Structure 1
Amino acid sequence: MALKIGRGAEAPPFLVMDVIAAANARAASLPAGAPGVLRMEVGQPGNGAPRGAEEAAIRALQSRRPMGYTEAFGLASLRARIARHYQDSYGVTVAPARIAVTVGASGAFPLAFLAAFDVGDRIAMAAPFYPPYANILTTLGMVPQLLACDAGTRFQPTLAMLEKLDPLPAGLIVASPCNPAGTMLAPEELAAIARWCHANGVRLVSDEIYHGLSWGTVAESSAAAFSDSAIVVNSFSKYFCMTGWRIGWLLLPEDLCRPVECLAQNLFISAPHIAQVAAEAAFDCTAELEANKDGYRRARAALLEGLPQAGFDRIAAADGAFYLWCDIGHLSNDSLDFCARMLEGADIAASAGVDFDRERGHRFLRFSYCGAEAEMVQAPARLKAWLRR
């Protein structure tokens, strides 16, 4: 008799993780001395954790004090430091009791979704979107409601778009800057959406993991500035360069604090103690982190100049994050195949658009430019040579 397989086993793949595996295999197959694979497939900063964060972790380990469970919502000192970050960065006062330290943003999303929504609820989001939004919701029995966005809306949802929804969704996910397009909502647009959600009983989930990484437009926190009912997700992975430490946080409305705490106690117990120690110290590493950001800025400028000359001349407005969302419809109508051939032919790993938009992503791909600057700037020349073969 065949054993039952649970619905969780039907979760769609996060295809960029498959690209990582393919890029690793390609890199291993190259002969010694070959230029190597340009890793532009994943949003993982080429620099590791800031030195001050590493040193704090080393000191904690050398002290021989136990790195045990913390409270489910994390170390009190880290939560207080995150609260101070909202005062320093956004000019708003946030109670540390509303902050939950999580196992990365990836651990924050299921906590938020389970606390705020029920099975069968529809949660709206722009398409293209970060794949785990929809994949996690689907696994939990919720229904992603995709809002088709394009260059005309700067790949962001609009208030007019939301006002046409009937019936209204239970929730809305926004990201500014967003992944994969790197576009941002203007502060007045974000404010209008946040207030509309609050007034209409639509729970807003604001993904703010790319805050600190914007190029000319200041990022606002929707919950901190515009709405008391919104949920904010943030992480130490992107600006703070701490992907592998698996540490993030939620800023919660008061009505969800205890429900999320109970879920966290049962699902995760707590985020890793040593990662929390390092994360708290990372807030004092601004000079190093801003130097990293300057490197992304230079890589972005070089790519925006060089990619059009290589044939990639349809690029979304890259206001923030560290991605370029490219329309390759004039080159291919199969982004999965195109990215596979680009990996083999140009030794460049990039993410196929179908991961981010199941309906229209076949004609898009995403380049990440947060790797080593000296490597990122090589991409246009390699692509130009490959496409001319």
Structure 2
Amino acid sequence: MALKVGKGAEAPPFLVMDVIAAANARQAALPPGAPGVLRMEVGQPGTGAPRGAAEAAIQALRAGTPMGYTEAFGLRSLRERIAGHYREKYGVAVSPARVAVTVGASGAFPLAFLAAFDVGDRVAMAAPFYPPYANILTALGMRPQVLPCDASTRFQPTVAMLDALDPRPAGLIVASPCNPAGTMLGRGELAAIADWCEANGVRLISDEIYHGLSYGTEEATAAGCSGSAIVVNSFSKYFSMTGWRIGWMLLPEDLLRPVECLAQNMVISAPHIAQVAAEAAFGCAEELEANKAVYARNRALLLEAMPGAGFGTLAQAEGAFYLWADVSDRTQDSVGFCARMLAEAGIAATPGVDFDPERGHRFLRFSYCGTEATVRDAIARLRGWR
């Protein structure tokens, strides 16, 4: 008799992970001395954790600090430091009691979804979107409600789009800066969306993991717009600590205990050593801003050069470290196009179908969080490959 396979096993793949595997295989197959694969597929900073964060972890280990379980919501000192960050950066008063330290932003989303929604609930999001939003919701028995967005709204949702939804969703996910387009919601736009959610009984989840990485556009936090919103952030992007798996949520009062109970049962706590390093990372602004300056130079190089390399239609890259390129004049098969680009030009990028299953066959995402040398080499290869 065949064994049952759960519905959660039907969650779609996160295709960028498949691209990573293909790029790794391509690199391994290259002969010695051959030009290597240029990695523009993944949103992982080319730098490691800031020196002060790594040193704090080393010192804690040398001192014999027990690295055991912490409270489910994390070390009190880290939660206080995160609350201070909102006061310093945004002028928003946040109680440390509302801060939940999580196993990366990826660990935050299942906790938020399970606490805020029921099986069968619709949760809206703009397309293109970060694939795990929809994939996690699907695995949990919830229903992604996709809002097709384009350049006319800067790939962001509008109140007019939300007003047209029938039935109303139980939740709405927004991201600013967003992955993959890099566009942002202004303070007024975010406040209007938050007000709409409050008026319509819709739980707002604001993905702010690319805060710190914007280029001339002010960053607004939903924590300053709504007392009922869930704010998700992470040490992975601006703080360059992807492998440490450490992030946080700001929670509304009504979800504090539900999320805490879920975290106690599902993860117990985020890694203690990562929490020590994360707290120290707040003191590494000089190094982190230097990293950001590299991304800014990479962005400027690409925005100037990509049209001449055959990628002339790009989203407004206001933040994060991605370019969302419309390649409909060259292909209607972004998966095949990316495979060819990897095989023939040695450049790994992510097909748009990962972020928009319906229209993503016409788009690619390029990540520019590597070195400036990588970006310059990629531009030269793309010009030749065209």
Instruction: Tell me, yes or no, whether TM beats 0.5.
Output: yes
Q: Which structure 2 residues correspond to residues 61-140 of structure 1 after superposition, within 5 A?
A: 61-140=61-140
User: What is the 5 A alignment of 1:351-366?
Assistant: 351-366=350-365
- The CA deviation string for residues 111-162 of structure 1, in whole angstroms up to 9 with x for no partner, is 0000000000000000100000000000000000000000011000001111
SS of alignment partner, residue 206 of structure 2: strand
| Whole-angstrom distance in 1 between the partners of 2:304 and 2:34 | 26
RMSD: 0.6
Q: Within 5 A, what are the aligned runs for 1:229-308? A: 229-308=228-307
**Number of paired residues?**
386
1:152 matched to which residue of 2? 152
Q: Alpha-carbon deviation of 1:33?
A: 1.9
1:384 corresponds in structure 2 to 383
One-letter amino acid of the counterpart of residue 266, structure 2: L
Residue 185 of structure 2 is matched in structure 1 by 185
Shift of 1:32: 1.8
Whole-Å separation in 1 of the counterparts to 2:92 and 2:166: 34
- Which stretches in structure 2 are left out of the alignment for 5+ residues? none
Mapping of residues 167-182 of structure 1, within 5 Å: 167-182=167-182
Tell me the alpha carbon deviations over residues 331-382 of structure 1, each in whole angstroms, 9 at most, x when there is no partner: 1110000000000111000000000000000010000000122112221210
What residue number does 1:311 align with? 310
Q: Which residue of 1 aligns with 2:216?
A: 216
Instruction: Report the counterpart of residue 374 of structure 1 in structure 2.
Output: 373
What is the Cα deviation at residue 13 of structure 1?
0.3
- Corresponding residue for 1:50? 50
CA distance in structure 2 between the partners assigned to 1:307 and 1:158 by the alignment: 29
Counterpart residue number, 1:9: 9
Amino acid in the other structure paired with 1:190: L
Opposite residue 319 of structure 1, the aligned amino acid is E
Q: Residues of 1 paired with 2:375 and 2:103: CA distance? A: 29
Task: Kindly state the Cα deviation for residue 74 of structure 1 after the two structures are TM-superposed.
Answer: 0.2
What secondary structure, in the 3-state scheme, does the structure 1 residue paired with 2:313 have? coil
Partner SS, residue 326 of structure 1: strand
* Aligned pairs (5 A) from 1:196-207: 196-207=196-207
- Taking structure 2 as the reference length, what is the TM-score of the superposition? 0.99
Counterpart of 1:170, as a letter, is: A
Runs of 5+ consecutive residues of structure 1 not aligned to the other structure: none
Shift of 1:9: 1.2
- 2-structure distance, mates of 1:320, 1:36: 28
Instruction: Name the structure 2 match of 1:339.
Output: 338
CA distance in 2, matches of 1:199, 1:228: 13
- In the alignment, what sits opposite 2:347? 348
* TM-score of the two chains, using structure 1 as the length reference: 0.99
CA apart distance, 1:187:
1.1
For each residue in 1:261-314, what CA deviation from the matched residue of structure 2 results, as whole angstroms up to 9, or x when unmatched?
Answer: 000000000000000000000000000000000000000000111111011000
Distance in structure 1 (CA, Å) of the matches to 2:19 and 2:167: 38
2:182, 2:66 → 1: CA distance?
41
